[in-house]
Structure 1
Amino acid sequence: MVNKLFTVDLNKPLVFQVGYLGEAYSEWVHQPVVSKEGPRFFANDFCELFTRTLWWVVPLVWLPVVCWFVTMSVQMGLTPSTAALALVGGIFIWTLLEYTLHRFLFHMKTTSYWGNTLHYLLHGCHHKHPMDGLRLVFPPVATAILCVPVWTVIRLLSTPSTAPAVFGGGLLGYVIYDVTHFYLHHGKPSKGLTKGLKRYHMSHHFRVQTVGFGITSSFWDRVFGTFPSTGAAERIK
Structure 2
Amino acid sequence: MVAQKFLVDLNKPLVCQVGHLGDAYDEWVHQPIVTKQGPRFFHNGFLEFFTQTPWWVIPTVWVPIASWFIATSVKLGLPSNHAPPLALLGIFVWTLAEYTLHRFLFHVQTKSYWGNTLHYLLHGCHHKHPMDSYRLVFPPVAAAVLALPIWSLVKLVSTPSTAPALFGGILLGYVAYDCTHYYLHHGQPKSDMPRNLKKYHLNHHYRQWNYGFGITSPLWDKVFGTVPPPTSKADAKSR
For the aligned pair, the TM-score class normalised by the smaller chain equals over 0.9
TM-fit CA distance, 1:20: 0.5
Q: Deviations over 1:77-130 (max 9, x none)?
A: 111221111101111110000000000011011011111000000000000000
Q: Deviations over 1:152-194 (max 9, x none)?
A: 1101110000000000000000000000000000001122210
In 2, distance between residues paired with 1:231 and 1:208? Answer: 8
Q: Deviations over 1:210-237 (max 9, x none)?
A: 10000000000000000012558xxxxx
Counterpart code for 1:32 = P
Counterpart code for 1:61 = V
In 2, distance between residues paired with 1:154 and 1:190? Answer: 38
TM-fit CA distance, 1:3: 6.5
Stretch deviating more after TM superposition (205-214 or 140-149): 140-149
List runs of 5+ in structure 1 lacking aligned partners. 233-237
Q: Counterpart in 2 of 1:235? A: none
Matched, 1:28 2:16: no
Stretch deviating more after TM superposition (60-69 or 78-87): 78-87
TM-fit CA distance, 1:143: 1.0
In 2, distance between residues paired with 1:73 and 1:121? Answer: 35
Stretch deviating more after TM superposition (35-44 or 185-194): 185-194
In 2, distance between residues paired with 1:61 and 1:26? Answer: 33
In 2, distance between residues paired with 1:182 and 1:46? Answer: 25
Tell me the matched-pair count: 231
Q: What pairs up with 1:1-237 in 2 under 5 angstroms?
A: 4-230=4-230
In 2, distance between residues paired with 1:120 and 1:75? Answer: 42
Verify the 8 A CA contact 1:3 1:20 in the aligned structure 2. no
TM-fit CA distance, 1:145: 1.6
Verify the 8 A CA contact 1:53 1:137 in the aligned structure 2. yes
Verify the 8 A CA contact 1:3 1:24 in the aligned structure 2. no
In 2, distance between residues paired with 1:67 and 1:97? Answer: 20
In 1, distance between residues paired with 2:187 and 2:3? Answer: 38
Q: Deviations over 1:16-48 (max 9, x none)?
A: 100100010000000000000000001111110
Q: Could you list the structure 1 runs, at least 4 aligned residues long, displaced by more than 2 angstroms after superposition.
A: 2-5, 229-232
Verify the 8 A CA contact 1:154 1:163 in the aligned structure 2. yes
In 1, distance between residues paired with 2:39 and 2:61? Answer: 25
Alpha carbon RMSD of aligned pairs, Å? 1.3
Counterpart code for 2:114 = W
SS of 1:184's equivalent in the other structure is helix
In 2, distance between residues paired with 1:36 and 1:132? Answer: 5
Counterpart code for 1:74 = V
